[in-house]
Amino acid sequence: MDSKRIIQKPLITEKANLLKEQENKYLFRVNRLATKGQIKKAVEELFKVKVENVHTSVMPGKLRRLGAHSGYRSDWKKAIVKVKKGQEIKMVEEV
């Protein structure tokens, strides 16, 4: 699988900012089929950093309604990537 298809987008939230500042960890939305090894390789390749470890979790889709119709959003996978001390990933933060 291509590195750009594995890492879909960075997650920029309050929790992500705290993890980045305190523990040098970054959050990404990743492909559901990607393994921890593939995620590690993709982050190292795309951002030119050394990854210490990767934690993943599958986030369940939420129920959404539009009038009388309801359905679920699809499940998605989140990866928490810890980078070696002294290195960082430069991301453009949205305003």
CB contact at 8 A, 53 and 35: no
| Predicted local confidence at residue 92, as pLDDT | 66
C-alpha to C-alpha distance for 72 and 86, rounded to whole angstroms: 41
Position 42 scores a pLDDT of 96
Digits of tens for pLDDT over the chain (95 positions)? 888 899 999 999 999 999 999 999 999 999 999 999 999 999 999 999 999 999 999 999 999 999 999 999 999 999 999 999 999 898 765 54
Res 95: pLDDT: 44
**What structural domains does the chain harbor?**
3-83 (3.30.70.330)
Given CA atoms 61, 62, 66, 70 in this order, what sign does their dihedral have? positive
User: What is the model's pLDDT at position 45?
Assistant: 95
> Are 91 and 49 spatial neighbours (Cβ–Cβ below 8 Å)?
no
